[in-house]
Homo-oligomer: A and B are copies of this chain.
């Protein structure tokens, strides 16, 4: 049996358009979000892409929730209904009936309730209002990312995700059988976006990247959407940080216009991006965290607790949710990171022009100036004990006049999660891949 859309000459009206149709008869289409029967009066909630509409009828043969339905009825003001309007049902069709009850009741879902169940039934649970709000915000965020970069003369690129070697040196790669040859999933478009600086000077890419990291944490995904930027003809990494500052401001401005309802639904606040995001060197940051908060930082970088405390400091003292941590040591950066230069132009062996950006206690960006000089790059590869021949396809381009350049990458899911207060980054991706999850 095949269901068809009901034949009616009325055009479809969306939930958000109801206020313009008070007193008129409209046709709504969507999913049966919820139903209640109160002594012969039936309340049904229709969910469409733009929201929920309460519909009131009687004597209707209602299908299971999540069925696709069509409601024709009169729009009436009703202060208690969502958006202030309800629809009095005159005609009702089932477009496509659910054949089983939903394994999770969509209106009753909450974050963090049985997370594994939520992900197991993701094909249905992703319909939840909060789940879809997160993905909608991400779509708007990505659109604003592209729009702003285009306005600054950046060109979008599409680079290979099947590669013969890793950009970071070889660890954490997923192997692919490429017609019997060994290949890998790209960890990052790093090397390709640098090559494309030689073509378009300023480039960006929005594409998935892959990290075969075994750990399962609330902040990592094995497949995520990377927002990558690279710009040429820079003076130093300050140009890159300024760009990211402007970009984040533009993204947040766009979200205020596009996504207020989603932020309200999730109880989250859109941050204000300072005209000049505070900067602190890594060395100063480590000192500050130890002296002010008594937290001893291990390793060469910041640990998660140090990131949290440092963010707290800048929120309290400068009212900024963002802080750039600059001048990373070479030991914490990949081989292509540009070293700091001494006053006489010689290379500083310890410090690079790499930076991280922290937002609300977590790193959301790594970036910096990259090495553009061929000899310096080959020295760095040797110093990192990497095999020059495995990187030959990449290093080749630096023989041909690459200008000074730098860039950064933002993990779309991590930024989305932090913006919206979602505790686990997996809920900021439609169908997350982790150590144990290959489906749905």
A200 touches B136 (CB 8 A): yes
A131 to B66, CA, bound (A): 49
User: CB of A188 within 8 A of chain B?
Assistant: no
CB distance from A191 to the nearest CB of B (A): 9
CB within 8 Å of B: which A383-418 residues: 393-394, 396-397, 399-404, 412
A158 to B411, CA, bound (A): 13
User: CB of A331 within 8 A of chain B?
Assistant: no
Partner of A123, one of B96, B183, B195, B201: B195
A396 to B158, CA, bound (A): 33
A95-B233, A98-B399 known; A201-B393 Cβ under 8 A:
no
Partner of A161, one of B5, B49, B161: B161
User: CB of A181 within 8 A of chain B?
Assistant: yes
Looking at the complex, which of A71-79, A169-177, A249-257, A315-323 is the stretch in contact with chain B? A169-177
Bitwise, A103-147 to B at CB < 8 A (1) or not (0) is: 000000000000000000001101100011001101100110010
Looking at the complex, which of A266-274, A356-364, A427-435 is the stretch in contact with chain B? A427-435
B162 touches A433 (CB 8 A): yes
Chain B residues within an 8 Å CB radius of A160: 223, 431, 433
| Least CB separation from A374: chain B residue | B99
Bitwise, A364-396 to B at CB < 8 A (1) or not (0) is: 000000001111100000000000000001101
A292 to B201, CA, bound (A): 51
A200-B49, A341-B2 known; A139-B124 Cβ under 8 A:
no
A132-B199, A174-B177, A181-B438 known; A64-B401 Cβ under 8 A:
yes
Ranked 5 nearest A-B pairs via Cβ: A67-B401, A68-B403, A393-B440, A123-B397, A98-B401
- Which A positions have Cβ atoms within 8 angstroms of B? 1-5, 12, 29, 31-32, 48-49, 63-64, 66-68, 95-100, 102, 123-124, 126-127, 131-132, 135-136, 138-139, 142-143, 146, 150, 153, 155-164, 174-179, 181, 183, 185, 192, 195-196, 198-202, 206-208, 210, 212, 214, 222-223, 225, 233-235, 341, 345, 347, 372-376, 393-394, 396-397, 399-404, 412, 429-431, 433, 435, 438-440
